[in-house]
Chain A
Protein backbone atom coordinates (compact mmCIF):
# COMPACT_ATOMS: atom_id res chain seq x y z
CA UNK A 1 0.00 0.00 0.00
CA UNK A 2 1.30 3.41 -0.97
CA UNK A 3 0.96 6.67 0.90
CA UNK A 4 -2.18 7.47 -1.09
CA UNK A 5 -4.02 4.33 -0.01
CA UNK A 6 -2.84 4.74 3.57
CA UNK A 7 -4.11 8.30 3.84
CA UNK A 8 -7.36 7.22 2.22
CA UNK A 9 -7.76 4.56 4.90
CA UNK A 10 -7.26 7.27 7.53
CA UNK A 11 -9.97 9.48 6.01
CA UNK A 12 -12.34 6.52 5.73
CA UNK A 13 -11.61 5.48 9.33
CA UNK A 14 -12.40 8.94 10.67
CA UNK A 15 -15.71 8.96 8.81
CA UNK A 16 -16.62 5.46 10.00
CA UNK A 17 -15.95 6.55 13.61
CA UNK A 18 -18.20 9.58 13.13
CA UNK A 19 -20.94 7.49 11.54
CA UNK A 20 -20.77 4.89 14.32
CA UNK A 21 -21.11 7.63 16.93
CA UNK A 22 -24.10 9.18 15.23
CA UNK A 23 -25.61 5.74 14.70
CA UNK A 24 -25.77 5.32 18.46
CA UNK A 25 -27.74 8.54 18.83
CA UNK A 26 -29.88 8.53 15.70
CA UNK A 27 -29.87 4.86 14.82
CA UNK A 28 -30.15 3.06 18.14
CA UNK A 29 -31.91 5.72 20.19
CA UNK A 30 -33.90 7.49 17.45
CA UNK A 31 -32.76 11.05 18.23
CA UNK A 32 -32.16 12.80 14.88
CA UNK A 33 -29.08 15.02 15.16
CA UNK A 34 -28.07 17.47 12.46
CA UNK A 35 -25.11 18.79 14.43
CA UNK A 36 -22.69 15.89 14.80
CA UNK A 37 -19.83 17.93 13.32
CA UNK A 38 -19.94 20.22 16.37
CA UNK A 39 -18.89 17.32 18.61
CA UNK A 40 -16.30 16.22 16.08
CA UNK A 41 -14.96 19.79 16.12
CA UNK A 42 -15.08 20.11 19.91
CA UNK A 43 -13.00 16.96 20.22
CA UNK A 44 -10.60 18.18 17.55
CA UNK A 45 -10.01 21.57 19.15
CA UNK A 46 -9.58 20.08 22.62
CA UNK A 47 -7.16 17.51 21.20
CA UNK A 48 -5.20 20.13 19.26
CA UNK A 49 -4.72 22.25 22.39
CA UNK A 50 -3.69 19.23 24.45
CA UNK A 51 -1.33 17.87 21.79
CA UNK A 52 0.30 21.26 21.33
CA UNK A 53 0.79 21.45 25.09
CA UNK A 54 2.81 18.25 24.88
CA UNK A 55 0.40 15.61 26.22
CA UNK A 56 0.95 12.07 24.89
CA UNK A 57 -1.32 10.60 22.23
CA UNK A 58 -3.51 8.32 24.41
CA UNK A 59 -4.30 11.19 26.79
CA UNK A 60 -5.12 13.44 23.83
CA UNK A 61 -7.51 10.87 22.33
CA UNK A 62 -9.37 10.46 25.62
CA UNK A 63 -9.42 14.21 26.25
CA UNK A 64 -10.95 14.82 22.81
CA UNK A 65 -13.64 12.25 23.55
CA UNK A 66 -14.40 13.53 27.04
CA UNK A 67 -14.65 17.19 25.99
CA UNK A 68 -17.03 16.28 23.18
CA UNK A 69 -19.06 14.11 25.56
CA UNK A 70 -19.46 17.02 28.00
CA UNK A 71 -20.97 19.11 25.20
CA UNK A 72 -22.96 16.04 24.18
CA UNK A 73 -24.43 15.80 27.68
CA UNK A 74 -25.51 19.45 27.55
CA UNK A 75 -27.14 18.97 24.16
CA UNK A 76 -28.66 15.73 25.44
CA UNK A 77 -30.50 17.73 28.07
CA UNK A 78 -32.13 19.77 25.32
CA UNK A 79 -33.34 16.54 23.76
CA UNK A 80 -35.32 15.99 26.93
CA UNK A 81 -37.13 19.29 26.51
CA UNK A 82 -38.04 19.31 22.84
CA UNK A 83 -39.79 16.87 20.53
CA UNK A 84 -38.22 15.25 17.50
CA UNK A 85 -38.54 17.88 14.75
CA UNK A 86 -37.43 20.56 17.17
CA UNK A 87 -34.48 18.43 18.21
CA UNK A 88 -33.24 18.08 14.62
CA UNK A 89 -33.25 21.84 14.26
CA UNK A 90 -31.82 22.49 17.72
CA UNK A 91 -28.85 20.20 17.02
CA UNK A 92 -28.38 21.92 13.66
CA UNK A 93 -28.33 25.16 15.63
CA UNK A 94 -25.68 23.77 17.99
CA UNK A 95 -23.53 23.12 14.91
CA UNK A 96 -23.87 26.68 13.66
CA UNK A 97 -23.27 28.20 17.08
CA UNK A 98 -20.13 26.07 17.50
CA UNK A 99 -18.62 27.23 14.19
CA UNK A 100 -19.80 30.82 14.69
CA UNK A 101 -18.16 30.86 18.13
CA UNK A 102 -14.83 29.25 17.17
CA UNK A 103 -14.44 31.56 14.17
CA UNK A 104 -14.12 34.52 16.54
CA UNK A 105 -11.89 33.01 19.24
CA UNK A 106 -8.32 34.21 19.07
CA UNK A 107 -7.12 31.51 21.49
CA UNK A 108 -8.46 28.87 19.11
CA UNK A 109 -6.69 30.49 16.18
CA UNK A 110 -9.96 32.03 14.90
CA UNK A 111 -10.05 31.82 11.09
CA UNK A 112 -6.39 30.86 10.83
CA UNK A 113 -6.97 27.68 12.80
CA UNK A 114 -4.40 25.79 14.85
CA UNK A 115 -1.23 24.58 13.15
CA UNK A 116 1.33 23.81 15.85
CA UNK A 117 0.30 20.18 16.29
CA UNK A 118 3.14 17.73 16.90
CA UNK A 119 3.64 14.51 14.95
CA UNK A 120 1.92 11.43 16.41
CA UNK A 121 5.25 9.57 16.37
CA UNK A 122 3.71 6.26 15.29
CA UNK A 123 4.94 6.30 11.72
CA UNK A 124 2.60 6.01 8.73
CA UNK A 125 1.76 2.34 9.21
CA UNK A 126 1.47 2.67 12.98
CA UNK A 127 -1.01 5.51 12.61
CA UNK A 128 -3.18 3.54 10.20
CA UNK A 129 -3.13 0.55 12.53
CA UNK A 130 -4.26 2.83 15.35
CA UNK A 131 -7.11 4.15 13.16
CA UNK A 132 -8.24 0.65 12.26
CA UNK A 133 -7.92 -0.46 15.88
CA UNK A 134 -10.13 2.41 17.01
CA UNK A 135 -12.70 1.62 14.33
CA UNK A 136 -12.75 -2.03 15.39
CA UNK A 137 -13.09 -1.07 19.05
CA UNK A 138 -15.94 1.33 18.32
CA UNK A 139 -17.72 -1.24 16.15
CA UNK A 140 -17.33 -3.82 18.94
CA UNK A 141 -18.70 -1.39 21.52
CA UNK A 142 -21.66 -0.62 19.26
CA UNK A 143 -22.35 -4.28 18.70
CA UNK A 144 -22.15 -4.96 22.41
CA UNK A 145 -24.50 -2.10 23.24
CA UNK A 146 -26.99 -3.29 20.67
CA UNK A 147 -27.21 -6.70 22.34
CA UNK A 148 -27.21 -5.38 25.90
CA UNK A 149 -29.97 -4.05 28.14
CA UNK A 150 -28.80 -0.53 27.17
CA UNK A 151 -29.47 -1.32 23.51
CA UNK A 152 -32.92 -2.67 24.39
CA UNK A 153 -33.66 0.58 26.22
CA UNK A 154 -32.44 2.62 23.25
CA UNK A 155 -34.63 0.64 20.87
CA UNK A 156 -37.64 1.11 23.12
CA UNK A 157 -37.08 4.87 23.24
CA UNK A 158 -36.59 5.00 19.49
CA UNK A 159 -39.70 2.97 18.87
CA UNK A 160 -42.18 4.81 21.04
CA UNK A 161 -41.31 6.96 24.04
CA UNK A 162 -44.72 6.69 25.65
CA UNK A 163 -44.68 2.89 25.53
CA UNK A 164 -41.11 2.84 26.80
CA UNK A 165 -42.20 4.91 29.76
CA UNK A 166 -45.05 2.54 30.60
CA UNK A 167 -42.55 -0.32 30.51
CA UNK A 168 -40.74 1.48 33.30
CA UNK A 169 -37.80 2.57 31.16
CA UNK A 170 -36.13 5.74 32.36
CA UNK A 171 -36.37 7.55 29.00
CA UNK A 172 -34.27 10.65 29.87
CA UNK A 173 -31.45 8.51 31.22
CA UNK A 174 -31.26 6.46 28.03
CA UNK A 175 -31.33 9.53 25.81
CA UNK A 176 -28.50 11.13 27.78
CA UNK A 177 -26.51 7.91 27.63
CA UNK A 178 -26.89 7.77 23.84
CA UNK A 179 -25.73 11.36 23.48
CA UNK A 180 -22.77 10.94 25.81
CA UNK A 181 -21.46 7.73 24.20
CA UNK A 182 -22.14 8.87 20.62
CA UNK A 183 -20.46 12.25 21.07
CA UNK A 184 -17.53 10.65 22.90
CA UNK A 185 -16.83 8.63 19.74
CA UNK A 186 -17.09 11.83 17.66
CA UNK A 187 -14.59 13.52 19.96
CA UNK A 188 -12.11 10.66 19.59
CA UNK A 189 -12.55 10.91 15.81
CA UNK A 190 -11.78 14.62 16.15
CA UNK A 191 -8.53 13.84 17.95
CA UNK A 192 -7.55 11.37 15.23
CA UNK A 193 -8.34 14.03 12.61
CA UNK A 194 -6.02 16.45 14.40
CA UNK A 195 -3.08 14.05 14.20
CA UNK A 196 -3.94 13.25 10.59
CA UNK A 197 -4.10 16.81 9.17
CA UNK A 198 -2.01 18.46 11.89
CA UNK A 199 -3.99 21.57 11.03
CA UNK A 200 -7.57 22.52 11.86
CA UNK A 201 -9.82 25.37 10.78
CA UNK A 202 -13.42 26.11 11.84
CA UNK A 203 -14.72 25.44 8.32
CA UNK A 204 -13.76 21.77 8.58
CA UNK A 205 -16.57 21.21 11.12
CA UNK A 206 -19.48 22.91 9.39
CA UNK A 207 -23.04 21.93 8.58
CA UNK A 208 -22.13 20.06 5.40
CA UNK A 209 -19.98 17.70 7.49
CA UNK A 210 -22.93 17.00 9.79
CA UNK A 211 -25.06 16.28 6.73
CA UNK A 212 -22.55 13.93 5.19
CA UNK A 213 -22.24 11.95 8.46
CA UNK A 214 -26.01 11.73 8.70
CA UNK A 215 -26.24 10.55 5.09
CA UNK A 216 -23.87 7.71 5.91
CA UNK A 217 -26.13 6.58 8.74
CA UNK A 218 -29.27 6.93 6.63
CA UNK A 219 -27.94 5.33 3.45
CA UNK A 220 -26.53 2.46 5.50
CA UNK A 221 -29.82 1.88 7.21
CA UNK A 222 -30.67 3.59 10.48
CA UNK A 223 -29.53 1.43 13.38
CA UNK A 224 -27.81 -1.24 11.29
CA UNK A 225 -24.21 -1.51 12.40
CA UNK A 226 -22.65 -3.10 9.33
CA UNK A 227 -24.91 -1.13 6.97
CA UNK A 228 -23.63 2.13 8.44
CA UNK A 229 -20.01 1.01 8.19
CA UNK A 230 -20.41 -0.05 4.56
CA UNK A 231 -22.18 3.21 3.70
CA UNK A 232 -19.51 5.32 5.41
CA UNK A 233 -16.80 3.55 3.43
CA UNK A 234 -18.70 3.77 0.13
CA UNK A 235 -19.73 7.41 0.47
CA UNK A 236 -16.21 8.47 1.45
CA UNK A 237 -14.61 6.64 -1.45
CA UNK A 238 -17.26 7.65 -3.96
CA UNK A 239 -15.52 10.90 -4.96
CA UNK A 240 -12.16 9.08 -5.15
CA UNK A 241 -13.44 6.55 -7.65
CA UNK A 242 -15.34 9.05 -9.69
CA UNK A 243 -12.71 11.53 -10.77
CA UNK A 244 -13.97 11.09 -14.30
CA UNK A 245 -17.31 12.52 -13.28
CA UNK A 246 -15.69 15.12 -11.04
CA UNK A 247 -18.09 17.85 -12.02
CA UNK A 248 -21.16 15.76 -11.25
CA UNK A 249 -20.09 14.00 -8.08
CA UNK A 250 -21.97 16.17 -5.58
CA UNK A 251 -25.02 15.96 -7.81
CA UNK A 252 -24.79 12.17 -7.73
CA UNK A 253 -24.24 12.26 -3.98
CA UNK A 254 -27.45 14.24 -3.54
CA UNK A 255 -29.28 11.98 -5.98
CA UNK A 256 -28.12 8.91 -4.07
CA UNK A 257 -29.63 10.30 -0.86
CA UNK A 258 -32.90 11.19 -2.59
CA UNK A 259 -33.19 7.82 -4.30
CA UNK A 260 -32.40 5.91 -1.12
CA UNK A 261 -35.04 7.79 0.84
CA UNK A 262 -37.57 7.47 -1.97
CA UNK A 263 -37.14 3.83 -2.87
CA UNK A 264 -35.31 2.21 0.04
CA UNK A 265 -35.81 4.28 3.20
CA UNK A 266 -34.31 1.48 5.30
CA UNK A 267 -31.01 1.93 3.49
CA UNK A 268 -28.55 -0.73 2.41
CA UNK A 269 -29.52 -2.87 5.39
CA UNK A 270 -33.16 -2.74 4.32
CA UNK A 271 -32.30 -3.79 0.78
CA UNK A 272 -30.29 -6.76 1.98
CA UNK A 273 -32.97 -7.82 4.45
CA UNK A 274 -35.71 -7.79 1.85
CA UNK A 275 -33.49 -9.56 -0.67
CA UNK A 276 -32.60 -12.35 1.71
CA UNK A 277 -36.21 -12.67 2.76
CA UNK A 278 -37.22 -13.15 -0.86
CA UNK A 279 -34.42 -15.65 -1.40
CA UNK A 280 -35.59 -17.66 1.55
CA UNK A 281 -39.15 -17.56 0.30
CA UNK A 282 -38.15 -18.81 -3.13
CA UNK A 283 -36.21 -21.69 -1.56
CA UNK A 284 -39.20 -23.00 0.38
Chain B
Protein backbone atom coordinates (compact mmCIF):
# COMPACT_ATOMS: atom_id res chain seq x y z
CA UNK B 1 0.00 0.00 0.00
CA UNK B 2 2.83 2.35 0.87
CA UNK B 3 4.20 2.13 -2.65
CA UNK B 4 0.83 2.85 -4.20
CA UNK B 5 0.60 5.95 -2.04
CA UNK B 6 4.15 7.01 -2.82
CA UNK B 7 3.52 6.73 -6.55
CA UNK B 8 0.22 8.55 -6.15
CA UNK B 9 1.86 11.38 -4.21
CA UNK B 10 4.63 11.51 -6.79
CA UNK B 11 2.00 11.90 -9.51
CA UNK B 12 0.35 14.72 -7.57
CA UNK B 13 3.64 16.63 -7.40
CA UNK B 14 4.45 15.64 -10.95
CA UNK B 15 1.14 16.96 -12.26
CA UNK B 16 1.88 20.28 -10.57
CA UNK B 17 5.27 20.40 -12.30
CA UNK B 18 3.55 19.46 -15.55
CA UNK B 19 1.08 22.35 -15.47
CA UNK B 20 3.88 24.85 -14.83
CA UNK B 21 6.31 23.32 -17.32
CA UNK B 22 3.79 22.95 -20.18
CA UNK B 23 3.52 26.72 -20.37
CA UNK B 24 7.29 27.05 -20.48
CA UNK B 25 7.60 24.46 -23.18
CA UNK B 26 4.95 26.17 -25.34
CA UNK B 27 6.96 29.37 -25.14
CA UNK B 28 10.26 27.66 -25.80
CA UNK B 29 8.81 25.64 -28.65
CA UNK B 30 7.64 28.74 -30.45
CA UNK B 31 10.26 31.36 -29.61
CA UNK B 32 13.25 29.58 -28.03
CA UNK B 33 12.97 31.78 -24.93
CA UNK B 34 13.80 30.25 -21.54
CA UNK B 35 11.08 32.14 -19.70
CA UNK B 36 12.21 32.01 -16.05
CA UNK B 37 9.74 34.75 -15.09
CA UNK B 38 6.98 32.24 -15.85
CA UNK B 39 7.29 31.24 -12.18
CA UNK B 40 6.71 34.87 -11.22
CA UNK B 41 3.40 34.76 -13.09
CA UNK B 42 2.60 31.52 -11.28
CA UNK B 43 3.09 33.31 -7.95
CA UNK B 44 0.93 36.20 -9.15
CA UNK B 45 -1.80 33.71 -10.04
CA UNK B 46 -1.64 32.20 -6.56
CA UNK B 47 -1.92 35.62 -4.89
CA UNK B 48 -4.83 36.73 -7.08
CA UNK B 49 -6.65 33.49 -6.32
CA UNK B 50 -6.30 33.86 -2.55
CA UNK B 51 -7.05 37.59 -2.41
CA UNK B 52 -10.06 37.39 -4.75
CA UNK B 53 -11.43 34.36 -2.95
CA UNK B 54 -11.09 36.04 0.43
CA UNK B 55 -12.77 39.18 -0.90
CA UNK B 56 -15.67 37.49 -2.68
CA UNK B 57 -15.99 34.13 -0.95
CA UNK B 58 -15.89 32.28 -4.27
CA UNK B 59 -12.91 30.09 -5.09
CA UNK B 60 -14.12 29.61 -8.67
CA UNK B 61 -14.17 33.36 -9.18
CA UNK B 62 -10.68 33.59 -7.67
CA UNK B 63 -9.26 31.03 -10.07
CA UNK B 64 -11.01 32.62 -13.05
CA UNK B 65 -9.72 36.07 -12.15
CA UNK B 66 -6.20 34.70 -11.71
CA UNK B 67 -6.23 32.99 -15.12
CA UNK B 68 -7.53 36.05 -16.92
CA UNK B 69 -5.29 38.66 -15.28
CA UNK B 70 -2.16 36.53 -15.45
CA UNK B 71 -2.88 35.59 -19.07
CA UNK B 72 -2.96 39.27 -19.97
CA UNK B 73 0.19 39.92 -17.94
CA UNK B 74 1.93 37.19 -19.92
CA UNK B 75 1.07 38.95 -23.18
CA UNK B 76 2.33 42.20 -21.72
CA UNK B 77 5.64 40.60 -20.73
CA UNK B 78 6.04 39.34 -24.27
CA UNK B 79 5.21 42.71 -25.83
CA UNK B 80 7.39 44.84 -23.54
CA UNK B 81 10.31 42.54 -22.86
CA UNK B 82 10.80 39.65 -25.24
CA UNK B 83 9.55 40.93 -28.58
CA UNK B 84 12.38 43.45 -28.98
CA UNK B 85 14.93 40.75 -28.09
CA UNK B 86 14.00 38.03 -30.55
CA UNK B 87 16.88 38.85 -32.89
CA UNK B 88 19.43 38.79 -30.04
CA UNK B 89 21.38 35.73 -28.84
CA UNK B 90 19.16 33.54 -26.62
CA UNK B 91 21.00 34.38 -23.40
CA UNK B 92 19.79 38.00 -23.61
CA UNK B 93 16.17 36.96 -23.09
CA UNK B 94 17.21 34.42 -20.44
CA UNK B 95 19.06 36.99 -18.34
CA UNK B 96 16.32 39.59 -18.81
CA UNK B 97 13.84 36.98 -17.66
CA UNK B 98 15.87 36.25 -14.53
CA UNK B 99 15.98 39.98 -13.79
CA UNK B 100 12.23 40.25 -14.28
CA UNK B 101 11.69 37.30 -11.95
CA UNK B 102 13.74 39.02 -9.22
CA UNK B 103 11.67 42.19 -9.70
CA UNK B 104 8.44 40.21 -9.45
CA UNK B 105 9.41 38.37 -6.26
CA UNK B 106 10.50 41.64 -4.66
CA UNK B 107 7.34 43.46 -5.72
CA UNK B 108 5.20 40.74 -4.16
CA UNK B 109 7.19 40.99 -0.91
CA UNK B 110 6.82 44.76 -0.80
CA UNK B 111 3.12 44.80 -1.75
CA UNK B 112 1.81 41.68 0.00
CA UNK B 113 4.36 41.47 2.86
CA UNK B 114 6.92 38.76 3.58
CA UNK B 115 4.69 36.53 5.73
CA UNK B 116 2.59 35.10 2.90
CA UNK B 117 -1.19 34.82 2.69
CA UNK B 118 -3.76 32.09 3.25
CA UNK B 119 -7.43 31.52 2.54
CA UNK B 120 -9.70 32.75 5.33
CA UNK B 121 -11.25 29.30 5.19
CA UNK B 122 -8.85 26.45 4.39
CA UNK B 123 -10.21 24.58 1.37
CA UNK B 124 -10.51 20.88 0.65
CA UNK B 125 -9.06 19.61 3.93
CA UNK B 126 -11.01 16.33 3.86
CA UNK B 127 -9.93 13.00 2.49
CA UNK B 128 -11.43 10.79 -0.18
CA UNK B 129 -11.23 7.02 0.30
CA UNK B 130 -10.88 4.78 -2.75
CA UNK B 131 -11.06 1.33 -1.23
CA UNK B 132 -7.90 0.73 0.80
CA UNK B 133 -6.19 3.81 -0.64
CA UNK B 134 -7.14 7.29 0.35
CA UNK B 135 -6.17 10.64 -1.06
CA UNK B 136 -6.57 14.15 0.29
CA UNK B 137 -9.27 16.13 -1.51
CA UNK B 138 -6.74 18.86 -2.30
CA UNK B 139 -4.41 16.30 -3.90
CA UNK B 140 -7.30 14.90 -5.91
CA UNK B 141 -8.16 18.44 -7.03
CA UNK B 142 -4.57 18.89 -8.19
CA UNK B 143 -4.67 15.68 -10.23
CA UNK B 144 -8.09 16.35 -11.72
CA UNK B 145 -7.21 19.98 -12.40
CA UNK B 146 -4.06 18.94 -14.24
CA UNK B 147 -5.92 16.33 -16.30
CA UNK B 148 -8.64 18.82 -17.29
CA UNK B 149 -6.11 21.51 -18.23
CA UNK B 150 -3.88 19.21 -20.22
CA UNK B 151 -6.78 17.56 -22.01
CA UNK B 152 -8.09 21.01 -22.84
CA UNK B 153 -4.71 21.93 -24.29
CA UNK B 154 -4.57 18.75 -26.33
CA UNK B 155 -8.03 19.49 -27.80
CA UNK B 156 -6.98 23.05 -28.55
CA UNK B 157 -3.87 21.88 -30.34
CA UNK B 158 -5.56 19.14 -32.37
CA UNK B 159 -9.03 20.41 -33.08
CA UNK B 160 -8.84 24.17 -33.51
CA UNK B 161 -7.53 26.63 -36.07
CA UNK B 162 -5.17 27.97 -33.43
CA UNK B 163 -3.65 24.53 -32.96
CA UNK B 164 -2.99 24.20 -36.66
CA UNK B 165 -1.57 27.72 -36.80
CA UNK B 166 0.64 27.06 -33.76
CA UNK B 167 2.11 23.88 -35.15
CA UNK B 168 2.65 25.44 -38.54
CA UNK B 169 4.41 28.43 -36.97
CA UNK B 170 6.67 26.19 -34.89
CA UNK B 171 7.62 24.05 -37.87
CA UNK B 172 8.29 26.85 -40.35
CA UNK B 173 7.30 30.45 -39.61
CA UNK B 174 7.99 31.69 -43.14
CA UNK B 175 5.90 28.93 -44.67
CA UNK B 176 3.14 29.58 -42.13
CA UNK B 177 3.07 33.25 -43.08
CA UNK B 178 2.86 32.42 -46.76
CA UNK B 179 -0.26 30.38 -45.99
CA UNK B 180 -1.82 33.47 -44.46
CA UNK B 181 -1.28 32.58 -40.81
CA UNK B 182 -0.87 35.64 -38.60
CA UNK B 183 2.30 34.46 -36.79
CA UNK B 184 2.40 37.60 -34.62
CA UNK B 185 -1.08 36.81 -33.28
CA UNK B 186 -0.04 33.20 -32.72
CA UNK B 187 2.76 34.42 -30.47
CA UNK B 188 0.44 36.55 -28.35
CA UNK B 189 -2.14 33.79 -27.99
CA UNK B 190 0.70 31.41 -27.14
CA UNK B 191 1.86 33.65 -24.30
CA UNK B 192 -1.71 34.06 -23.11
CA UNK B 193 -2.32 30.31 -22.93
CA UNK B 194 1.06 29.56 -21.32
CA UNK B 195 0.43 32.20 -18.66
CA UNK B 196 -3.08 30.90 -18.01
CA UNK B 197 -1.42 27.58 -17.22
CA UNK B 198 0.97 29.27 -14.82
CA UNK B 199 -1.96 30.95 -13.07
CA UNK B 200 -3.90 27.69 -12.87
CA UNK B 201 -0.89 25.96 -11.33
CA UNK B 202 -0.58 28.80 -8.81
CA UNK B 203 -4.27 28.49 -7.90
CA UNK B 204 -4.05 24.74 -7.42
CA UNK B 205 -0.93 25.04 -5.27
CA UNK B 206 -2.56 27.76 -3.18
CA UNK B 207 -5.42 25.36 -2.43
CA UNK B 208 -3.03 22.48 -1.82
CA UNK B 209 -0.80 24.34 0.69
CA UNK B 210 -3.21 27.02 1.91
CA UNK B 211 -0.18 29.27 1.69
CA UNK B 212 1.10 31.65 -0.96
CA UNK B 213 4.40 33.48 -0.49
CA UNK B 214 6.52 35.95 -2.46
CA UNK B 215 9.24 33.32 -2.99
CA UNK B 216 6.98 30.37 -3.83
CA UNK B 217 8.06 30.53 -7.48
CA UNK B 218 11.75 29.99 -6.93
CA UNK B 219 11.69 26.19 -6.80
CA UNK B 220 9.29 25.78 -9.76
CA UNK B 221 11.29 28.33 -11.76
CA UNK B 222 14.41 26.26 -12.06
CA UNK B 223 12.89 22.81 -11.67
CA UNK B 224 10.56 23.38 -14.60
CA UNK B 225 13.57 24.37 -16.70
CA UNK B 226 15.08 20.97 -15.92
CA UNK B 227 11.80 19.33 -16.86
CA UNK B 228 11.46 20.96 -20.25
CA UNK B 229 15.03 19.99 -21.09
CA UNK B 230 14.35 16.40 -20.05
CA UNK B 231 11.20 16.45 -22.13
CA UNK B 232 13.20 17.52 -25.16
CA UNK B 233 12.71 21.31 -25.30
CA UNK B 234 9.45 22.27 -26.94
CA UNK B 235 7.86 18.79 -26.88
CA UNK B 236 4.51 18.97 -25.08
CA UNK B 237 4.10 15.21 -24.62
CA UNK B 238 7.71 14.75 -23.53
CA UNK B 239 7.37 17.53 -20.98
CA UNK B 240 4.30 15.88 -19.47
CA UNK B 241 6.05 12.51 -19.21
CA UNK B 242 9.20 14.06 -17.74
CA UNK B 243 7.20 15.99 -15.12
CA UNK B 244 5.30 12.93 -13.93
CA UNK B 245 8.40 10.76 -13.92
CA UNK B 246 10.32 13.36 -11.93
CA UNK B 247 7.46 13.62 -9.41
CA UNK B 248 7.60 9.87 -8.76
CA UNK B 249 11.41 9.76 -8.63
CA UNK B 250 11.40 12.61 -6.12
CA UNK B 251 8.79 10.85 -3.99
CA UNK B 252 11.11 7.86 -3.67
CA UNK B 253 14.20 10.04 -3.37
CA UNK B 254 12.73 11.95 -0.42
CA UNK B 255 12.30 8.71 1.47
CA UNK B 256 15.30 6.65 0.44
CA UNK B 257 18.01 9.12 -0.59
CA UNK B 258 17.22 11.90 1.89
CA UNK B 259 20.30 11.17 3.96
CA UNK B 260 22.67 11.78 1.04
CA UNK B 261 21.06 14.39 -1.13
CA UNK B 262 18.59 17.27 -1.05
CA UNK B 263 15.31 16.55 -2.79
CA UNK B 264 15.72 19.55 -5.05
CA UNK B 265 19.04 18.21 -6.30
CA UNK B 266 17.46 14.96 -7.51
CA UNK B 267 15.90 16.64 -10.55
CA UNK B 268 19.30 17.87 -11.67
CA UNK B 269 21.18 14.61 -11.08
CA UNK B 270 18.53 13.00 -13.23
CA UNK B 271 18.92 15.79 -15.78
CA UNK B 272 22.71 15.56 -15.97
CA UNK B 273 22.70 11.77 -16.27
CA UNK B 274 20.09 11.87 -19.03
CA UNK B 275 21.90 14.60 -20.96
CA UNK B 276 25.15 12.66 -20.86
CA UNK B 277 23.42 9.65 -22.39
CA UNK B 278 20.92 11.45 -24.64
CA UNK B 279 22.06 15.06 -25.25
CA UNK B 280 18.80 15.85 -27.05
CA UNK B 281 16.66 15.07 -23.98
CA UNK B 282 14.76 12.04 -22.78
CA UNK B 283 11.74 12.30 -25.03
CA UNK B 284 12.98 14.31 -27.98
CA UNK B 285 12.08 12.99 -31.39
CA UNK B 286 15.22 12.28 -33.38
CA UNK B 287 18.06 14.72 -32.86
Bound together:
yes
Name A residues whose Cβ lies closer than 8 Å to a Cβ of B.
Answer: 32, 78, 81-86, 88-90, 92-94, 96-97, 99-101, 103-104, 207, 211, 214-215, 218, 247-248, 250-251, 253-258, 260-262, 265
Name the interface residues of B248-263: CB closer than 8 Å to any CB of A. 259-262
Q: Which 6 A-B pairs have the closest CB atoms?
A: A100-B265, A257-B99, A254-B102, A93-B268, A100-B262, A261-B96
Name B residues whose Cβ lies closer than 8 Å to a Cβ of A.
Answer: 32, 34, 81, 84-85, 88, 90-96, 98-104, 106-107, 110, 222, 225-226, 229, 233, 259-262, 264-269, 271-272, 275-276, 279, 281
Instruction: Report yes or no: A255 in contact with B99, Cβ–Cβ below 8 A.
Output: yes
Q: Which residues of B contact A218 (CB under 8 A)?
A: 91, 95
Instruction: Report yes or no: A88 in contact with B94, Cβ–Cβ below 8 A.
Output: yes
Instruction: Report yes or no: A96 in contact with B81, Cβ–Cβ below 8 A.
Output: no
Q: Which residues of B contact A78 (CB under 8 A)?
A: 272, 275-276
Give the Cβ gap from B79 to chain A, nearest Cβ, in Å: 12
Instruction: Report the Cα distance A166→B257, complex, angstroms.
Output: 47
Instruction: Report yes or no: B100 in contact with A258, Cβ–Cβ below 8 A.
Output: yes
Q: Please give 9 more A-B residue pairs, beta carbons under 8 A apart, in addition to A89-B226, A251-B106, A254-B99.
A: A32-B94, A86-B275, A97-B265, A100-B266, A215-B95, A248-B106, A253-B102, A256-B99, A265-B88
Question: Which secondary structure characterizes the binding site on chain B?
Answer: helix
Instruction: Report yes or no: B268 in contact with A258, Cβ–Cβ below 8 A.
Output: no
Instruction: Report yes or no: A254 in contact with B100, Cβ–Cβ below 8 A.
Output: yes
Instruction: Report the Cα distance A16→B152, complex, angstroms.
Output: 50
Q: Which residues of A contact B267 (CB under 8 A)?
A: 93, 96
Give the Cβ gap from B239 to chain A, nearest Cβ, in Å: 14
Give the Cβ gap from A75 to chain B, nearest Cβ, in Å: 9
Instruction: Report yes or no: A92 in contact with B262, Cβ–Cβ below 8 A.
Output: no
Instruction: Report the Cα distance A38→B283, complex, angstroms.
Output: 28
